[in-house]
Amino acid sequence: GEEVAQTPKHLVRGEGQKAKLYCAPIKGHSYVFWYQQVLKNEFKFLISFQNENVFDETGMPKERFSAKCLPNSPCSLEIQATKLEDSAVYFCASSRARVKSSGNTIYFGEGSWLTVV
């Protein structure tokens, strides 16, 4: 069935270590989104891609966070020098078309739980 696949499900990092999360969008989906959910609160938008191009990165912290979507590879979200406040569930989502397309649905993955200790 259709599924956005995120790995790893859980990741524990010491402060200052690097964390890298992966997302395989549903086949045929051109748009990928990353969200951060801290303590089961609101979903904070980080970045979106249209294929391998950054579509909107207004939510990305300027420092330490980076993301890529390369052809024939899972998309990735990388956090350099993690801090305690980065502890959160990171959700990836994908869609076939732009979010404003009426027939379009955005599908979410199960999330990657990052714990920084």
Partner 1 sequence: AQSVSQHNHHVILSEAASLELGCNYSYGGTVNLFWYVQYPGQHLQLLLKYFSGDPLVKGIKGFEAEFIKSKFSFNLRKPSVQWSDTAEYFCAVVNQAGTALIFGKGTTLSVSS
Which one, 82 or 112, has the nearer CB to partner 1?
112
Distant-in-sequence, close-in-space partners of 97: CB < 8 Å, separation ≥ 6:
30, 31, 103, 104
Say if residues 77 and 90 touch (Cβ distance below 8 Å).
Answer: yes
Kindly state the smallest distance separating residue 63's Cβ from partner 1, in Å.
21
Does 100 bind partner 1 (CB under 8 A)? Our answer is yes
Positions touching partner 1 (CB under 8 A) are 4, 33, 35, 40-43, 45, 48, 55-56, 59, 91, 93, 98-100, 102, 105-106, 108-111
